[in-house]
Structure 1
Amino acid sequence: MASSAGNSLLVIERLLRDRDGIWRQIIEERDLKQLTGQMLISSALSLALYGAVLGFSNSALQAAASFVKLPLLFLATLAICLPTLYLFNLVFGAKLSVLQALTLIMVTITVTAVLTLAFAPISLFFLITAQSYAFFKLLNVAILMLTALVGLRFLTAGMRAINEHQEKAALAAAPAPAPVEAPAPAPVPAQAVPNGDGAVAVAAPPAVHQWPVAHPHQRPAPAPRPEGSASMTLLYIWILLFGFVGTQLAWTLRPFFGSPGKDFQLFRSIGGTFYADVFETIGRLVG
């Protein structure tokens, strides 16, 4: 158990220091189950600890509920959106396996979770000193959005690395074109030129200019592959979908914070939207 926790902590450092090695491991499909398990433990623990900080704005009971609900939010969003990412990439030639797609998204969630946990002392500091629930809520929404953007950059970098690898593999597997040789120049006959003594001199044929010819085994420059750019475009669309699903699911699973002075609630009635609540909170804070 201690060894598993230690490996989960090590995978965090590896994600931040050796991302190229992570992309190679995903491309080669080496020990992906073990890597995904380590990331699952580290991300769930990081999000749970941050969720407890959020819940302390209300009570210890709310902190315990948010300890469970924040990891559940990210993992449930992953479960809802993973099939779409997998099918998108099959349609446009990325050819990811389900395990590769899962590992790639877990990299995103793990980076987001670890960076979020790094902000926990700042969030706790403002919880103790600011004494403003509206400010505390907006601060933590901003923190989650910032860390999610950083995590999604890892997702786009990983997908781009996979696309480049597949393009190189396709180019290496393509047959080389047949060698092209320049035609031999036609011989030019010598010309007899009389001189002043009555003798006949033979003039050398004029030199024929040889235009440079490409090396017979040289391959033409590969044309750009539209599949890679289409795959990245669909990835950006999927990221928007992931964001909308995540925010709506967060609204469904609320409260994470819990208004100070109110009774503990595990869930609230479904109504309104996440975005309307954010704008309403901004209005209360500014007004």
Structure 2
Amino acid sequence: MSSVTPAPAPLSSPLALAPTGMLRTAELLLRNPSALIAQVQAGGPELRELPLRLAVCALAGFGAFGFLLGFTRSPLAGLAAAPKLMLVGLGSLAVCLPALHVYGRLLGARLSALQAVCEALVALGTTGLTLLGLCPVWLVFANTVNHPPTGYFHVMLGSLVFLGFAALRGIWVLVEALRLQGRTVLHLLAWTALYGMVGMQMAWVVRPFVGTPGSPTVAFRPLESSAFDAATTLLRSNLDSLDGGRPEPESLEFSTETSPAQESL
């Protein structure tokens, strides 16, 4: 009597073997964001849980990088900076989300409000995970340049570069995923400019993240001028230091004797 050999079980795909829940979402953000965008476009019951998972990925990265940013001043500044940077990332997105949905609808995108939220959070989650990956690099950078009298200015300029790189990578991942699906990305370009301006101004509102050396640690500074004036002042201070000048850190500190545009980050 012949025995029947059972057929081998089909091999599961790498996606099926991936962990479920938060870990699976983080893995897709890192390895295959296009599959995540396809899942958003397809809809389904899991879509309701996706915004929370993506937001947690984003907040983890923003919080970790914010803590290290403030830690260049003190552990207390790090504990204060972490929730501030989380607020800047998620708060700016919340302010700009209606514009993203409207821009997309005007250009023919057939997405629900929930799908638009998920796609924006894919970009923000990628930004957060990028910041998380940059944390060791930031520690080396800050330890290298954070020396008086010009270290403060280099740390501030470096923080803008790191944050800008992570934000651009998040947008780029989303743009590429949409292009692979043959969808329009024009609305994302306009929305990215809006999100960048809102994010800079919100960061200015909740400053400082580090604070100038020699000044007391404060939770918030008075609102004066704008983030764009401060960015110009910061760039000028870095250029002066490269030219051999020795700008004083207090020149970026807000006081009754200084210009509001010179308030520190």
TM-score, normalised with respect to structure 1: 0.70
If you compute each CA radius of gyration, which structure gives the higher value, 1 or 2?
Answer: 1
Q: Distance in 1 between matches of 2:137 and 2:120?
A: 27
Task: For residue 284 of structure 1, report the CA deviation from its aligned partner.
Answer: 1.9
Give the aligned residue type for 2:83. V
Q: Distance in 2 between matches of 1:149 and 1:62?
A: 26
Contact in 2 for aligned 1:62/1:264 (Cα 8 Å) = yes
What is the total number of aligned residue pairs between the two structures?
217
Q: Distance in 2 between matches of 1:71 and 1:11?
A: 19
- Could you say which residue in structure 2 is the equivalent of 1:117? 132
Task: For residue 29 of structure 1, report the CA deviation from its aligned partner.
Answer: 0.8
Contact in 1 for aligned 2:205/2:223 (Cα 8 Å) = yes
Task: For residue 78 of structure 1, report the CA deviation from its aligned partner.
Answer: 0.9
- Could you say which residue in structure 2 is the equivalent of 1:145? 164
**Quick one: structure 1 residues 151 and 22, their matched pair in 2 at CA, closer, same or farther if it must change by over 3 Å?**
same
Name the stretch that deviates more: 119-128 or 107-116.
119-128
Contact in 1 for aligned 2:25/2:53 (Cα 8 Å) = yes
- Could you say which residue in structure 1 is the equivalent of 2:121? 106
Q: Distance in 2 between matches of 1:88 and 1:127?
A: 39
Name the stretch that deviates more: 256-265 or 73-82.
256-265
1:66 to 81, 102, 108: 81
1:37 aligns with 2:52: yes
- Could you say which residue in structure 2 is the equivalent of 1:24? 38
1:68-83 correspondence to structure 2 within 5 Å: 68-83=83-98
- Percent identity over the alignment is 29
1:135 to 135, 151, 154: 154
Q: Distance in 2 between matches of 1:258 and 1:57?
A: 10
Could you list the per-position Cα deviations for residues 237-262 of structure 1 after superposition, in whole angstroms to 9, with x for gaps in the alignment? 11111111111111111111222221
**Quick one: structure 1 residues 158 and 20, their matched pair in 2 at CA, closer, same or farther if it must change by over 3 Å?**
closer
- Could you say which residue in structure 1 is the equivalent of 2:222? 269
Q: Give structure 1 stretches of 5+ with no counterpart.
A: 165-227
Contact in 1 for aligned 2:60/2:132 (Cα 8 Å) = no
- Could you say which residue in structure 2 is the equivalent of 1:126? 141
1:285 to 233, 238, 241: 238
- Could you say which residue in structure 2 is the equivalent of 1:211? none
Q: Distance in 2 between matches of 1:148 and 1:111?
A: 8
SS of 2:49 mapped into structure 1: helix
Q: Distance in 2 between matches of 1:126 and 1:240?
A: 28
Could you list the per-position Cα deviations for residues 161-205 of structure 1 after superposition, in whole angstroms to 9, with x for gaps in the alignment? 5554xxxxxxxxxxxxxxxxxxxxxxxxxxxxxxxxxxxxxxxxx
Q: Distance in 2 between matches of 1:25 and 1:267?
A: 40
- Could you say which residue in structure 2 is the equivalent of 1:256? 209
Q: Distance in 2 between matches of 1:11 and 1:98?
A: 20
Task: For residue 28 of structure 1, report the CA deviation from its aligned partner.
Answer: 0.7
Q: Distance in 1 between matches of 2:77 and 2:38?
A: 42
More contact order relative to length (CA 8 Å, sep ≥ 6): 1
